[in-house]
Amino acid sequence: MNHKRFTELATKYLSGELSTEEIGELDMYLANEEYRRQFQTISSQWNIAKRNFTQHEFDIQKGKAKLYAKIRRHDASFGAKKKTIHLNPLFWKVAASVLVLLTLAWWVWQQPAPTAPGIVWKEISTQPGQKTILSLGDGTQITLNAGSVLRYPESFQDSIRWVHLMGEAFFDVASNPDKPFIVRSGRLDTRVLGTKFNVKSYEEEEIARVSLVEGKVEVTTPSNKKVVLNPKQEILYQKDRQDITVKEFTPLKVVGWKENTFIMENEPLKNLLPLLERNFGVEIQLTDTQLANCKITADFRGESVWTMLEVLKYTTGIEYDFLNDKTIVLNGNGCN
């Protein structure tokens, strides 16, 4: 690999000038641990010296302008049509997701690691449409959902087994009363001895949640409030208000994503869209924002995205079109 080319790609990414093809090229470099470390260093220096960039500062209007400009390179007539298409704000979050995903690794590296110096940290990430299963040295098994990053030590040498998560993962933690297992996910710390639970904490989502399937966990909030969960209980943390809610949940509905199971019970379509985008690696656009509020009741188990769209079509009247193999447009006059 060419170090000069990597530096060029990293710099173009940080300045927001990376093309779709170059994003794929940069991603190949980032599969290498050494290049990931270099990317983290470059990102840190750029953030300090240039603009102190954060995920929350993404400018939607500028993003739209850049996206339109790139589309016009391939279709000069784009934007000249009189018909106006109103897109769900979710679409622009998706348009920004490529940038967000590449900087997830940087975010995780910035989290403080409360372990002894000399610990060798490893990192694994998933792209939209991908999942992965890994086993840690202590016997703990983790299923990492799409668009997520997990950072963990090569071996657990401390009295506490720390890992860092950005995104979503299901944990089957090996029991060890002498070494508690703690998952740091954004502002929440989840402490366990040996149990099965799900953590969902995507940076772009307003709510983080910890859902306990078996055993017992203790979740610590930023205000240092400790909440103990029993099986089939989950804690929902509202990031902006720092509010917490504890309630019961249906395990298959929360952790079914591991087997591509999605259960909707009279929920708005907008709740399903990010699940489809994340798990199938597609972008979904709405021609009418009202469609986002269509109520959906469905039980999808291992279905393809095409089958799920067909079900939506015949149950709600929503039509769909594939612009390409990664972009889907939903349209219609309302909900049945």
pLDDT computed for residue 109 by the predictor: 42
Q: Which residues are CB-neighbours of 241 under 8 A, at least 6 positions away?
A: none
Q: For residues 188 and 217, state if they share a domain.
A: yes
Find out whether 326 and 282 touch, Cβ atoms under 8 Å: yes
- Nearest in space to 108 (alpha carbons), one of 79, 57, 151: 151
Q: How far apart are CA 300 and CA 200, in angstroms?
A: 20
Q: For residues 153 and 173, state if they share a domain.
A: yes
Q: How far apart are CA 253 and CA 120, in angstroms?
A: 36
Domain boundary among 62, 80, 108: 108
Tell me what the mean pLDDT of segment 179-203 comes to. 92
Q: For residues 247 and 269, state if they share a domain.
A: no
Strand intervals (E) in 221-306: 226-229, 233-238, 243-248, 261-268, 283-286, 295-301
Domain boundary among 108, 143, 161: 108
Q: Three-class SS of residue 219?
A: strand
Strand intervals (E) in 78-160: 121-125, 132-135, 141-144, 149-153
Q: For residues 226 and 138, state if they share a domain.
A: yes
Helices (H), the chain: 3-14, 20-30, 33-46, 60-74, 89-110, 251-255, 269-280, 305-316
Examine the pLDDT at 332 and tell me if it is beyond 50: yes
Tell me what the mean pLDDT of segment 195-208 comes to. 93
Find out whether 188 and 220 touch, Cβ atoms under 8 Å: yes
Q: How far apart are CA 182 and CA 115, in angstroms?
A: 12
How many domains in the chain?
A: 3
Tokens 């209980």 belong to which residue? 233
Q: For residues 223 and 269, state if they share a domain.
A: no
Find out whether 90 and 274 touch, Cβ atoms under 8 Å: yes
pLDDT computed for residue 247 by the predictor: 96
Q: Three-class SS of residue 238?
A: strand
Q: Three-class SS of residue 197?
A: strand
Q: For residues 228 and 154, state if they share a domain.
A: yes
| Structure confidence at residue 19 as a pLDDT band (50, 70, 90) | low
Per residue in 37-51, pLDDT (tens digit) is 777 666 655 554 443
Contacts 24+ apart (CB under 8 A), 273-279: 273/88, 273/90, 274/90, 274/205, 276/305, 276/308, 277/94, 277/97, 277/128, 278/128, 278/129, 278/145, 278/146, 278/147, 279/128, 279/129, 279/131, 279/145, 279/146
Q: Can you give the residue range of the structural domain that contains 296?
A: 260-331
In a domain, 247, yes or no: yes
Find out whether 237 and 262 touch, Cβ atoms under 8 Å: no
Residue type, 253: K
Q: For residues 215 and 201, state if they share a domain.
A: yes
Q: Three-class SS of residue 3?
A: helix
Q: In the chain, what percentage of residues exceed pLDDT 70?
A: 72
pLDDT computed for residue 16 by the predictor: 63
Cα Rg of the chain (Å, integer): 21
Per residue in 262-295, pLDDT (tens digit) is 999 999 999 899 999 998 999 999 988 888 888 9
- Nearest in space to 90 (alpha carbons), one of 282, 265, 260: 282
Domain boundary among 86, 108, 130: 108
| Structure confidence at residue 107 as a pLDDT band (50, 70, 90) | very low
In a domain, 336, yes or no: no
Q: For residues 124 and 172, state if they share a domain.
A: yes
